[in-house]
Amino acid sequence: MPATGERIFFLTDFLSLPYNIVVKKALVFFGGFAASLLAAVFVFPFQNSALAATVPTGFVDELIVGGLSQPAAFAFLPDGRILFTEQKTRRIRMIVNGAISTTDPITTIADVQTAGNEQGLLGIAIDPDWPTRPYVYVYFDRTPGSTIYLSMFTASGDLNDPASHNLSLGSRYDIITDIPDAAGNHNGGTLRFGPDGRLYPSLGEDADFCRAQDSGSFKGVILRISVDSLPGAGSGPASKSSITPADNPFPGSDNARLAWAYGLRNPFRFNIDPQTGNLYIADVGQSNYEEADECRGGENFGWPFREGPDTQVVGGCTEPGGSGNGSFIPPIAYYDRSGFTASIISAGLYRPIPATNFYNFPAEYDGDYFFIDYYQGFMRRIKKSGSTWITPPPVPGQPNAADWAAGFVSGSDFQVGPDGALYYLLQFVNFAPTSGQFRRIAFLKGDLNLDGKMSGADIVTLVACVFSSIPPPAGAAACDLDCSGAPSAADVVLLVNFTFSGSPFPC
């Protein structure tokens, strides 16, 4: 295989050739690479799916793994393997190189309560100091009893091998064991680590709406926990003072001092901005509105006295100062859900992966927030403009002006992966049993002919763009793959290396 310099020298010979000769020579030159396979730690083989979501031009929605049983949440190990929970089977399973691990499951948690429709094994997170601290954290409704547990497991096996199936979860330590769970719904369920190293669990208000206004109730709150002293001796639970960060915002009881924000109904899914540490919370509404909230810590979001933009009088609950006079933080986005079944799910605030680019979204998406509706299936995008959030102008290929994408019915968890793609779980396809899927939305930077895949045809198109100034369907600007300001032979080398060797783009 020629060195990079030799390849560039060869390609520059195309400069004086007419287009039809360029194409013929390019096909001969690149044909030898056609049998090569795309191979990189975080790049899975593409799988065609008739059930792919509708996404804008230049993006592709891809199936990674199907046939799952109501998957609820997932987390990336630093080496690229993926752990995910199944809500009702009580299992934690692993994906290795785009397939279910031969070690399956890596554990089953026997005391998960699954009786209620929203109950089960709901959240999972990986210790940010993995593999030095080889801990996996889970959030689940527990049986017997009427409580939710936050627990951690110690992993063993190959802790830092992307191709290994040798991983299991052993000893368990229960961190918190007294989160109320009297109702079968409004359980919350997200676990995320922030860039501060703190663990953030989301707790629903357990269908006890008045108590969401009590920061110490463990109802309708986001917690912020220090795991530095964990696991403690024995099997737990930890003393609350030992897991309370000194800079948490609320005084009062032990429970209140663990709270980061409150006044929420059912924050089933939220995501954390890796740059600012802000939380972006999808709070499921009751009758009128679904809402998204931005959280820096210390907020009261107003439930049950506020739902979206509405002020509500709630029997049995007294708003401080009288109806309409409470001081609450308004949502950054909301939509009317009257007349149809709805549940908002956070799809995250998008940040590109720095330094290398496999499937990063274009630069204009940096800092944009996405959310879906679990039952309606649309995905929407908002952008911060000054101090407010707006719906940006539609991009080519959007289903309509309001919806950035569509086809996400039963979406349960979304996270940006280590390759820049947006990964997600569908609990069901058409709500059929064992039809759940793990998928991703990727931006194909080198898909110059906009056919939804990366192939030698794109390389031929780029050669024509670079050496014959023929713009591709994606536009002339798309030919500048190295962000140098102008297309060049170096861009062709980048596309060849990405397409056939899995090498990332530099920008």
* pLDDT of 376: 98
Cβ count within 10 A of residue 59: 23
CB distance 117 to 131 below 8 Å: no
Nearest one of 442, 405, 478, 492 to 45, comparing CA atoms: 442
What are the tens digits of pLDDT across the range 216-256? Answer: 999 999 999 999 999 988 999 999 999 999 999 999 999 99
* pLDDT of 31: 41
Q: Both tokens of residue 337?
A: 């859900």
Long-range contact list for 425-429, CB < 8 A, 24+ apart? 425/68, 425/71, 425/72, 425/73, 425/74, 425/84, 426/71, 427/70, 427/71, 427/72, 427/87, 428/70, 429/51, 429/66
Residue 328 has, within 13 A of its CA and on its CB side, a CA count of 28
In angstroms, the Cα distances linking 38 to 138, 229, 502 are 34, 42, 5
Q: Both tokens of residue 394?
A: 């539609």
Report d(CA 445, CA 435) in Å as an integer: 30
Sign for the CA dihedral angle at 432, 435, 440, 446 comes to negative
Report d(CA 365, CA 387) in Å as an integer: 17
If pLDDT is split at 50, 70 and 90, which confidence band does 501 have?
Answer: confident
- Residue with more model confidence, 223 or 20: 223
Spell out where 10-81 has E strands: 59-68, 71-76
Local structure of residue 43 (DSSP, 8 states):
B
Residue 382 has, within 13 A of its CA and on its CB side, a CA count of 23
What are the tens digits of pLDDT across the range 93-136? Answer: 999 999 999 999 999 999 999 999 999 999 999 999 999 999 99
Averaged pLDDT for residues 47-57? 79
Report d(CA 334, CA 314) in Å as an integer: 20
If pLDDT is split at 50, 70 and 90, which confidence band does 455 have?
Answer: confident
Quote the mean pLDDT of the chain.
Answer: 90
Q: Does 431 score more than 70 pLDDT?
A: yes
Averaged pLDDT for residues 69-96? 98
Q: What are phi and psi of 424, to 5 degrees?
A: -160, 160
* pLDDT of 215: 97
CB proximity list for 432: less than 8 A, separation 6 or greater: none
- Residue with more model confidence, 3 or 334: 334
Q: Does 6 score more than 50 pLDDT?
A: no
CB proximity list for 480: less than 8 A, separation 6 or greater: 486, 487, 491
Q: What are phi and psi of 170, to 5 degrees?
A: -110, -115
Nearest one of 144, 148, 202, 196 to 175, comparing CA atoms: 148
Report d(CA 67, CA 433) in Å as an integer: 9
* pLDDT of 68: 98
* pLDDT of 46: 52
* pLDDT of 500: 87
Helical segments of 148-198, H only: none
Report d(CA 399, CA 417) in Å as an integer: 25
Percent of the chain with pLDDT over 90: 84
Q: Does 266 score more than 60 pLDDT?
A: yes
Averaged pLDDT for residues 192-214? 98
In angstroms, the Cα distances linking 368 to 28, 294, 329 are 42, 12, 20
CA dihedral in degrees (480, 485, 487, 488; nearest 10)?
-120
CB distance 198 to 279 below 8 Å: no
Cβ count within 10 A of residue 256: 19
Q: Is the peptide bond before 393 cis (omega within 30 degrees of 0)?
A: no
Q: Does 3 score more than 50 pLDDT?
A: no
Percent of the chain with pLDDT over 70: 90
What are the tens digits of pLDDT across the range 275-303? Answer: 999 999 999 999 999 999 999 999 999 99
* pLDDT of 474: 92
CB distance 154 to 171 below 8 Å: yes
Report d(CA 395, CA 364) in Å as an integer: 11
Report d(CA 222, CA 264) in Å as an integer: 8
Report d(CA 262, CA 211) in Å as an integer: 10
In angstroms, the Cα distances linking 7 to 10, 78, 484, 488 are 5, 34, 19, 13
What are the tens digits of pLDDT across the range 336-383? Answer: 999 999 999 999 999 999 988 899 999 999 999 999 999 999 999 999
Q: Does 13 score more than 50 pLDDT?
A: no
